[in-house]
Structures are given as C-alpha cells and as structure tokens.
Amino acid sequence: MIPILVTGKSGQVGWELQTTLAQLGAVTALDVDQMDLAKPDSIRRVIRELKPGIIVNAAAYTAVDKAESELDLAMNVNGIAPGIMAEEAKRLGAILVHYSTDYVFDGESKRPYVEDDPPNPVNAYGKSKLAGERAIEAVGGHYLILRSSWVYSARGSNFVLTVLRLAREKPELAMVEDQTGSPTWARWLARATADLLLRRSVNQHDSGTYHLTAAGHATRYEFAQAIIDAMKDISGDPGRWAKLRPITSAKYPLPARRPSHPVMSMNRIEKVFGMVAPHWRVHLRDFLSETASKVPLGAPTSSSGR
C-alpha cells in the first residue's frame, strides 16, 4: 500500500482525511508535537523517515486576526513549510496535496475568480498562504494546491458551531452582510481530495492550483440565517432562536481586513478531474442532521451581542 502522510491530524480537514485516504494506502497522521511546521528540520526529518508516496498538508496557521501580529509564525507555517514539503516530495517522487484559501484574493472582482487571476491578499494570513503556494510552484514536481473557502466541521472553532451556540444564548446576533464566500464541509473536502487522487494519477500535466469549494455562495448573514433555519427544522424547535440583524464590516471592526467577495470558479477542476461540487446548502443540512443531537438547545439569555 502507498504510504500517506497527513499533517494537522486534529484539524477539521486532517481529521476527516484519516478516514477518506485509508482507501488509497497506509495513512500516518501527525500533529505539531510530531512534526512542527515552524521548524524546517522537523519537517525534513519526518518525511525522510516515513518516505511517503503522498503528502497531504492539512496543517496551517489559521488564526486570521492573530496573524496580523504574528506574521513571522504565520509565514513559517503557511509560507515556508509548504515549500520544504514540496522539496522533499520532489526528492521522493511523491505527490504533494496542499490546501490554500480564497483569502489570497482581495474580493474586488465582479465575477468568480479563476485560478489564473492575479492574487492580491488584503491581510497577513492571506499573504502567508499565497507565499506557500508560490513556494510549492517554485519547486515544481507533482502537486495539487487546492483553494477552499469557509470550511466548517464538528471539530474545533468555526462559523457554524459559533452561530449554533450564540443563537441559543442571545436574543439577537449581528451578522455582516458584505462578506461573501462558499461554505464548505470539511468531510466533503476530504472526500473530494481522495476522489481526485483515485480518479487518475496526478502527473506533471495535472499538477497545479485548483479551486475546490461547495457550489454557490452566501454572505455571512445569509449563511447564519440558513444555519438557524435548517436547525430549527431538524431539531423540531422553531422558537427560542436569536434574531439576526445585518450589519456592514465597518460596524464589526477586526484586526485583519477580510476580502469582500472572493468567490471562486470551479471550472478548471471540473474540466481536468470531472469534479462537480454539490450546493453548500445540501451539505449544511447533512452536517446539521448528523450533529443535531450534539448541539445544546438551551434557552437564550436576555443579553444581546454578536
């Protein structure tokens, strides 16, 4: 069986990859205590010991706001480490799969971004992820850079879980209506990754950057409303949920600026791999149906907030 190395095993995508990639080979999944992406020697040592045929880098520095004050750390993990993995993969003749983000774009385009559109990140996190893409491209070899958007799962901290919690705790939530993305379930992203590798061997011709998100898009306000509406139906509890109030990003200042409309086209991955993504609402309902019993449905408090 092909030895497969997965980084970020406790993360949203990394956790799911351990199951989906098992059909391709023997998976070794590691976290930061076993392979520290901020330390080049750690990366090289582990890869040279394991000699994987496929490396899937699901680890990243994802604290978008903290990256503004921790740019060096974000750049080490997101910008430099992927290039080192690409070098080691090329030396082994292995395939590297690396996840990137819609935040490499500034969100000013009036049409969905294609892979060849010039990136222009507006925050430190986006800049660090773009640096990782360019480091991989500079090395070459066999690789897939998969840009995704607004990933959520039952693990860790993400928008869906936050909305579900706050919508039961507060009578009103303010949600920005001028930031748009394509909500993507981590499980589908992991399954799609395995599917890409199963459909045909990634060769030099296929190597490159691809957009891989759920179909469709929504504003943060629309996404939050869809989460609440679906959960009302699934839980059988139509009342006792927070009312949403749309606001602009200017009313909700954060350390890191967010791109307003970084929606991405999936045409390239459909053409090359035949990959067709379902609409984000379909997977959101599937996700909520599965996790409904795990979400506390207590009454909201009398306080207000986001």
Neighbour tally for 63: CB within 10 Å? 15
The residues carrying an active-site annotation are 125
* SS3 sequence of 213-269: CCECCEEHHHHHHHHHHHHHHHHCCCCCCCEEEEECHHHCCCCCCCCCCCCECCHHH
Q: What does the chain look like in DSSP terms, one character per residue?
A: -EEEEEE-TTSHHHHHHHHHGGGTEEEEEE-TTTS-TT-HHHHHHHHHHH--SEEEE------TTGGGT-HHHHIIIIIIHHHHHHHHHHHHT-EEEEEEEGGGS-S--SSPBPTTSPP---SHHHHHHHHHHHHHHHH-SEEEEEEE-SEE-SSSS-HHHHHHHHHHH-SEEEEESS-EE--EEHHHHHHHHHHHHHHS---TTT-EEEE---BS-EEHHHHHHHHHHHHHHHHT--SS-PEEEEE-GGGS--SS---S---B--HHHHHHH---PPBHHHHHHHHHHHHGGGS--PPP-S----
